[in-house]
Amino acid sequence: MGKRGAARAAASRGPNAGARDGTAGSGMLPVGQDVIQPRILHAFQRALFIADAETARHSARVGAAAAALGRSMGLPEGEVRQLRAAGILHDLGKLVVPQDILDKPGRLTAEEWIEIRRHPAVGADILLAVSADLASLADAVRSHHERWDGSGYPDGRVGDQIPLAGRILAVADVFDAVTCTRSYRSHTLGELEARALLVAEAGSHFDASVVKAYLAVRANAPTGQRWVRTGSRPSSWEPTLVEATR
C-alpha cells in the first residue's frame, strides 16, 4: 500500500483514530454545534500527513493564521475554532489528486488543472459524508479558492456569496503559499512583497476588508510565531496567484 492508500485508510478509520493523542475528551464540543470533533479532525490531519507532510504542515499554518485573523475580526470563539479546523482541512480533497500532479514543477496542463480544481468540492463532500452538521465547515473548505470577483472555483461565487470563512481562508492560504517553499515552486516572496501582493489583489481575488484585517494581524505578530514566514525571490520571478497556489 502506497502513502496515499495508507492516508485514505487512516481517514477511513474516522473518529477513533485520534484516541491516543489526547485531543479527544474534555475539550470535545457536542455533536450538532457545527464544529468538528477533535478526534475526527486529528484522523483527517493524520491522513494528510501520511499522504504529503508538506501539505499537512502548510494546512496547519493556514489553520493557525485563519484562527488568528478571525479572532482579530471579533468573531465568536466557536467560529474561531471552526476557522482553525477549516484551515487544517482546506486541502483535504487533495487526497484524491495524484501526487505527481501536486508535486509537478512549473505549469500544469489543462487536464492537470481539472484534477487540481476538484479538491475543494471533494474535501467538502468528505466532510458532509461524516455529518450533515458540518455543513458550514464543508462550505468553508469548498469555497477557499473562490475569488471576490467571481473568477474562482469550483462554483464561481461572487463577493458576499462566498462565506466569510472561505474569504478568510483564501487570504491565509495564499499568503502562506507564496511565503513558503513548496515542492512545485522553490522561490518565495518576502514578508513585504507578500503583503503588497495581497493589497494588489484586494477587491479582485480577495475581500478587501479581510486583507486589511490580515495585514493588521501580520503587523502585530510576534517575530517567532510559527506561521510567520519570510523569504526572498529572484527579481525575474513574477508568479500569478494561480501558479502560486494549487
175-192 per-position pLDDT tens digit:
999 998 776 666 789 999
Beta bridge partners of 202: 206
What is the C-alpha to C-alpha distance for residues 188 and 22, in angstroms, rounded to an integer?
A: 35
Does the annotation mark 94 as catalytic? yes
Q: Using H for helix, E for strand and C for coil, what is the string for the chain?
A: CCHHHHHHHHHHCHHHHHCCCCCCCCCCCCCCCCCCCHHHHHHHHHHHHHHCHHHHHHHHHHHHHHHHHHHHCCCCHHHHHHHHHHHHHCCHHHHHCCHHHHCCCCCCCHHHHHHHCCHHHHHHHHHHHHCHHHHHHHHHHHCCCCCCCCCCCCCCCCHHHCCHHHHHHHHHHHHHHHHCCECCECCCCCHHHHHHHHHHHECCCECHHHHHHHHHHHHHCCCCCCCCCCCCCCCCCCCCHHHHCC
What is the C-alpha to C-alpha distance for residues 155 and 166, in angstroms, rounded to an integer?
A: 12
What is the C-alpha to C-alpha distance for residues 9 and 136, in angstroms, rounded to an integer?
A: 25
CB atoms inside a 10 Å sphere around CB 158: 14
State the Cα angle at 185 between 183 and 188, rounded to 5°. 115
Question: Domains of the chain (ranges plus CATH)?
Answer: 3-17+33-244 (1.10.3210.10)
pLDDT averaged over every residue in the chain: 81
pLDDT higher than 90, residue 56: yes
The dihedrals phi and psi of 162, each to the nearest 5 degrees, come to: -80, 125
* pLDDT average, residue stretch 235-240: 35
pLDDT higher than 90, residue 104: no
* pLDDT average, residue stretch 221-242: 40
Predicted structure pTM score: 0.79
Residue 220: pLDDT band by 50, 70, 90 thresholds? confident
What is the C-alpha to C-alpha distance for residues 67 and 110, in angstroms, rounded to an integer?
A: 34
- Give me Rg for the CA atoms of the chain: 17
What is the C-alpha to C-alpha distance for residues 174 and 245, in angstroms, rounded to an integer?
A: 6
Looking at per-residue pLDDT, the higher value among 10 and 46 belongs to 46
Residue 25: pLDDT band by 50, 70, 90 thresholds? very low
Provide the pLDDT for residue 241: 46
pLDDT higher than 60, residue 159: yes
pLDDT higher than 90, residue 167: yes
Beta bridge partners of 185: 182
59-83 per-position pLDDT tens digit:
999 999 999 999 999 999 999 999 9
